[in-house]
């Protein structure tokens, strides 16, 4: 068996651009090099880690010259926890690259010449903007180089924080996170300290043992706070000890919940969530509307920018009050109820039954009587029989998961021929693909990127598709 060929070290390479998934780009010998944690203008040495036909993937091993646009990250965990990977980029530069990403993908994947992209809408706040974070307990804390090289024994290996990218069983113990407003940091630290002081074991992902598994914190623009503690071991006495401590120490928690999750994965959508104290939900408000958010409910993770996003969707829908609107992937009915006052009827469709239950309650609590909500897999329930019941759509609003929409949904949309489709997407690549599939019948009238996630490469995008009248 031959020796594995050594991969090259590329010296004094200038970073020139940012790729679609947030990695930096360099070029050498007619080959593209993708590398993380670099900024256009950096001059670096890159150790190639993977060699593919036409491109390399590598890692910066030495910085020769820092880019003029590079800035100092504010977070001490930058580069390790996997979040906020663009903190070294000024926010104005982040927005430029995100807008370019939307343009490039609509052109390259959507085959749209000169796509009508409006200037990206940046976030007012670039820190403390998230309303939901999920932390992981682990007895396999990520160790620093200093700790590993130290001659002193490591007494505490517990962590409550975020997974290290590429290492599923290693977790960074987060000291301070800049993603979520108070009391998020205080609650996380209090839970960790109490657990360690009282002998509550942290989860071992490989062995599937330990008591504490996950901590979910949701904060609302109303000031309400939801906490969900996911336990692996069902130890009632110790569980109640922790929950009572939280209830006493943080009276601002308005919804305190727990779940026993003994599956191999962390998702709790299929588990019974028990309300320990307070309400079983929190509420968001938007333009006088109140939205119930339960433990399993989806809601945009940036409340302020969600409002801006929905205003764009409403503008693009251009409703007169006479339209039948279908809101696909409605979640808790936020968009459906937001549009209801401008439409004749809105029909929302969602896979998660609990979310549909919340959507109906949201409509009822806000005095909205012209919405209907349907539960089921989109590719199975969005069909002719639904149109026979509620009528053909004049306008369709859709906000699918990152994977985009199923071919069945595309086919039904083309057949139904709504005048306008407002496509809200968290993944411009799959959005561009889906738009291309409908391009024979719809043209892209305008596009509005909205930044929901500062310091990441992710961007939300709203595209207005208008039916080609000559095809009707």
Task: State the DSSP string of 389-453.
Answer: HH---SEEEE---TT---HHHHHHHHHH--SEEEEEES-HHHHHHHHHHTTTTEEEEEEEEE--S
At 176 the pLDDT is: 95
Which pLDDT belongs to residue 471?
46
Taking the model in full, what pTM does it have? Answer: 0.89
What domains lie within the chain, and their CATH numbers?
1-69 (2.40.50.140), 94-125+302-471 (3.40.50.150), 132-286 (2.40.50.1070)
Answer yes or no: are the C-beta atoms of 262 and 199 closer than 8 Å.
no
DSSP state of 344: S
* Selected catalytic residue, list 75, 81, 84, 426: 426
Give the per-residue pLDDT at 143.
82
Residue 153 confidence (pLDDT): 65
Question: Two tokens at 408?
Answer: 């069945």
List residues bridging with 380 in a β-sheet. Answer: none
Instruction: Pick the closest to residue 375 from 350, 401, 339, 346 (CA basis).
Output: 350
Distance CA 312, CA 309 (A): 5
CA distance 286 to 310: 10
Reading the block at residue 175, the tokens are: 């000291």
Report pLDDT digits (tens) over 329-368: 998 899 999 999 999 999 999 998 888 998 999 999 999 9
CA–CA dist 440, 446 (Å, integer): 17
Q: What is the pLDDT of residue 170?
A: 87
Number of Cα atoms under 13 Å in the Cβ half of residue 236: 0
Say what angle helices 184-197 and 236-249 make with each other, to 10 degrees: 140
472 residues of the chain, pLDDT tens digit each? 455 678 888 999 999 999 877 889 999 888 899 998 899 999 999 999 988 888 899 999 999 999 999 999 999 999 888 889 999 999 999 999 999 999 999 999 999 999 999 999 999 999 999 999 999 999 988 887 677 766 566 778 999 999 988 777 889 999 999 999 999 999 999 999 999 999 999 999 889 999 999 999 999 999 999 999 999 999 999 999 999 999 999 999 999 999 999 998 889 988 999 999 999 999 999 999 999 888 988 888 999 999 999 999 999 999 999 999 999 999 889 999 999 999 999 999 999 888 899 899 999 999 999 999 999 999 999 999 999 999 999 999 999 999 999 999 999 999 999 999 999 999 999 999 999 999 999 999 999 999 999 999 999 999 999 999 744 4
Helix residue ranges per DSSP H, 109-172: 145-149
Nearest to 349 by CA among 371, 370, 324, 326: 326
Instruction: Give pLDDT tens digits for 260-279.
Output: 999 988 899 889 999 999 99
Residue 75 bears catalytic tag: no
pLDDT score for 352:
87
Buried b (16+ CB within 10 A) or exposed e, 24-47: bbbeeeeebbbbebbbbebbbbbe
CB 348 within 8 A of CB 330: yes
Residues listed for the chain: 472
d(C-alpha 233, C-alpha 213), whole Å? 9
């Amino acid at each position: 068996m031959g020796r594995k060929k050594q991969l090259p070290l590329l010296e004094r390479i200038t970073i020139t651009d940012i790729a679609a998934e947030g990695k930096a780009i360099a070029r050498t010998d007619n080959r593209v090099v993708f590398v993380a944690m670099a900024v256009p203008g950096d001059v670096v040495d890159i150790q190639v880690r993977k060699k593919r036909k036409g491109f390399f993937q590598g890692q910066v091993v030495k910085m020769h010259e820092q880019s003029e646009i590079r800035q100092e990250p504010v977070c001490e965990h930058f580069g390790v926890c996997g979040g906020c990977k663009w903190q070294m980029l000024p926010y104005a530069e982040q927005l430029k690259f995100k807008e370019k990403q939307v343009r490039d993908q609509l052109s390259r994947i959507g085959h749209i010449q000169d796509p009508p992209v409006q200037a990206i809408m940046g976030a007012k706040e670039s820190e403390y903007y998230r309303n939901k974070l999920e932390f992981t307990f682990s007895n396999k804390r990520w160790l620093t180089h200093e700790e590993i090289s130290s001659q002193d024994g490591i007494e505490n290996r517990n962590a409550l924080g975020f997974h290290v990218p590429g290492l599923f069983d290693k977790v960074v113990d987060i000291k301070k996170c800049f993603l979520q407003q108070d009391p998020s940091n205080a609650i996380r630290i209090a839970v960790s300290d109490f657990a360690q002081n009282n002998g509550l074991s942290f989860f071992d992902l490989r062995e599937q043992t330990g008591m504490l598994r996950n901590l979910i914190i949701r904060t609302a623009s109303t000031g309400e706070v939801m906490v969900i503690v996911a336990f692996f071991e069902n130890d009632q006495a110790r569980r109640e000890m922790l929950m009572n401590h939280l209830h006493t120490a943080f009276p601002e928690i308005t919804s305190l919940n727990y779940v026993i999750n003994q599956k191999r994965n962390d998702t709790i959508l299929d588990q019974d969530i028990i309300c320990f104290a307070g309400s079983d939900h929190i509420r968001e408000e938007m333009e006088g509307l109140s939205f119930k958010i339960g433990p399993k409910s989806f809601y945009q993770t940036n409340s302020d920018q969600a409002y801006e996003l929905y205003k764009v969707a409403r503008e693009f829908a251009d409703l007169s009050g006479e339209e039948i609107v279908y809101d696909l992937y409605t979640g808790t009915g936020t968009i459906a109820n937001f549009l209801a006052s401008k439409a004749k009827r809105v029909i929302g469709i969602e896979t998660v039954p609990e979310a549909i239950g919340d959507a109906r309650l949201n409509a009822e609590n806000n005095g909205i009587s012209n919405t209907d909500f349907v539960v089921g897999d989109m590719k199975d329930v969005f069909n002719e029989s639904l149109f026979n019941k509620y009528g053909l759509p004049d306008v369709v609003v859709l906000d699918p998961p990152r994977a985009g929409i199923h071919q069945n949904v595309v086919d039904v949309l083309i057949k139904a021929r709504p005048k306008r489709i407002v496509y809200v997407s968290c993944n411009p690549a799959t959005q561009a693909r889906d738009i291309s599939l409908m391009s024979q019948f719809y043209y892209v009238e305008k596009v509005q990127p909205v930044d929901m996630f500062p310091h990441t490469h992710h961007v939300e995008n709203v595209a207005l598709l208008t039916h080609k009248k000559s095809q009707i």
